Amino acid sequence: MKKVLKAIAMLFVVVAIVFAAGCAGKTGNMGNEDQENETQGNNDQLQPVNPEISANVTNNTTEANETIEKGQVVTKADSGKTISLKKGENFTISLREDPSAGYLWKLNLSSGLSILDDEYIEGLNPEHLEGVPGTHLWVIEATAPGSQKVNGIYKRTWENITGTEEKFTLNVEVE
């Protein structure tokens, strides 16, 4: 009986050593996928990301390496204003959005405007939290001359329109 107990005790010791060695060993990033990117260079300063002003916007309808010049950037502060463009020129609408809470912008464009690219950029999230609001970007091309319009409403898709929703309007004069 003592030999059986000693054998079981020895087995537990071996299992504990193997388990401890496995836990202590490095097995990749395991939840720290961004650690390598965050620690390169100077650890004291991380480059801030401003999703409202991105360098360029990738056009999802063309080759991956091709980019669209975005022209003017229009934000919520420009709602109700008028911009002027020539036919074939682009502009970008940049609006804050919180899709994890169900809030999305729904844009309606007049027939002389066409969406070239539609992209959502998650906001800064250094703590890797779920549901961080971000910025929605639309690259829009003026395709026909005349008075054009963009109307937007910010609401949850499953809720009815009540009239209290946040709205966005932009008048576009195209030469």
Contacts of 8 (CB under 8 A, 6+ apart): none
Q: One digit per residue, pLDDT tens: the chain, 175 residues?
A: 666 666 666 665 555 565 555 544 444 444 443 433 333 333 333 223 333 333 333 333 333 334 455 689 999 999 999 999 999 999 999 999 999 999 999 999 999 999 999 999 999 988 888 889 999 999 999 999 999 999 999 999 999 999 999 999 999 999 9
What would the two tokens of residue 138 be? 């639309």
For residues 105 and 92, give the distance between their C-alpha atoms in angstroms, rounded to a whole number: 14
Q: Please state whether the predicted TM-score (pTM) of the whole model is above 0.85.
A: no
* Cα distances (Å, whole numbers) of residue 26 to 42, 72, 148: 24, 48, 59
For residues 170 and 160, give the distance between their C-alpha atoms in angstroms, rounded to a whole number: 23
If you write DSSP's letter for every residue of 20-52 in order, what string do you get? HHHHHS--S-TT-TTHHHHHSS-TT-PPP--TT
